[in-house]
Amino acid sequence: MPEQHPLESAFDAGAADFERLAPSLWNPMGNALVAAADVHLGEQILDACCGGGAITIPAAQSAGPDGAVDGVDISADLLDVARRKAGTLSLDNAAFHRSDILAWQPDTQYDVVLCGYAVFFLPDMDAGVRHLVSLLRSGGRLALTTWADGSLTEFSSMLYRHCVAVAGEGAPATTGARDNMYAINTPEKATAWLQGLGLEQVEAVHTPAPVQLNPELAWSVVLGSALRLLLPEDPAATEKVKEAFLAELGEDYTLNADTLVVTAVKP
């Protein structure tokens, strides 16, 4: 990967915090996505933007020793987390690769392409998903998760308000991803989007995902995600944001992490 991806340093820096959300969010939703994709024994699978392996691991387990899963991500630190998980479980059919997913060109076509909470980070979301679909065989399945309408909204708006109060007004660093999320955040919008890209048998299911956060875990949500890009560059200013944000959030906050689980078939 010759040039650093714009989000690479953010996800490397936040890898440990990202992983703290695994038990309450990434793992259950990863299992749900693999189940929705109906992964079979012996299938060839791509986990696009695999992060810490919350989807790769259950996909490799479902595919069995005669199947194979490629986990691809830009973050070396998250890939290390995923490799350790696979090694602990002796999942020799899972391989991990550091690459921008848009540059990923395997030697074979996949039966299933999975993508968890990442399509909205693609700079051109339509073109990016067309690339993922191009990696599928005819009749192969695409399955993805994305944030549902209202998900994370209160939490992220509160954080941004405190960032502005401390560091002044500025354009959110995640504007493109936010606009992409809003474009596909209901079952109707997500279904129409994938149908418009030529996919068939599209289904989008709203899945409630409330996550209980104490202050420590709440700050891990910030540091372990692209929300960290909203924080001021000055560490002292960031500490002021943290103090004010967590004070408003309280000791026991329920994060709305409602998710759309979307599946489709390549003609």
pLDDT tens digits, residue range 201-234?
999 999 999 999 999 999 999 999 999 999 999 9
Mean pLDDT of 251-264: 98
- Residue 139 pLDDT greater than 50, yes or no: yes
Amino acid identity for residue 176 in this structure? G
Task: Report the percentage of the chain scoring pLDDT > 70.
Answer: 96
Q: Write down the pLDDT at residue 10.
A: 85
What single string gives the DSSP state of each residue in 164-213?
HHHH-----TTHHHHHHHHHT-SHHHHHHHHHHTT-EEEEEEEE--EEEE
- Per-residue pLDDT, 17: 95
Cα 76 to chain centroid, rounded: 15
What whole-number distance in Å separates Cα of residue 28 and Cα of residue 136? 25
Query: What's the pLDDT tens digit per position in 142-189?
Result: 999 999 999 999 999 999 999 999 988 765 656 688 899 999 999 999
What are the CA-CA distances from residue 133 to residues 23, 71, 111, 128, 217 (Å)? 30, 16, 11, 9, 35
Q: What is the mean pLDDT of the chain?
A: 94
When pLDDT is cut at 50, 70 and 90, the band that residue 7 belongs to is confident
Residue 36's pLDDT is what?
98
Minimum mean pLDDT range among 91-100, 135-144, 161-170, 234-243: 161-170
Angle between helix 235-249 and helix 153-167 axes, rounded to 10 deg: 140
Contact 175, 242 (CB under 8 A): no
Mean pLDDT, residues 191-203? 98
Radius of gyration of the chain, Cα coordinates, nearest whole angstrom: 18
Over residues 121-147, mean pLDDT: 97
Of 102 and 1, the one with more pLDDT: 102
> Which tokens go with 139?
């009749």
**What is the DSSP code (8-state) at residue 254?**
E
- 152 and 259 Cβ atoms separated by less than 8 Å: no
CA of 10: how far to CAs of 15, 62, 74, 197, 229, in Å?
A: 9, 31, 10, 30, 7
Residue 168 confidence (pLDDT): 85
Residue-wise pLDDT for 13-51, tens only, equals 989 999 999 999 999 999 999 999 999 999 999 999 999
Q: What is the largest CA-CA distance in the chain?
A: 55
DSSP conformational letter for 99: S
The pLDDT, as a whole number, for residue 19 is 95
Averaged pLDDT, 71-99: 97
For residue 223, the SS3 value is: helix
Nearest to 43 by CA among 70, 63, 17, 57: 63
Q: Under 8 Å CB-to-CB from 102, ≥6 apart: which residues?
A: 122, 128, 131
Interatomic CA distance for residues 218 and 54, integer angstroms: 20
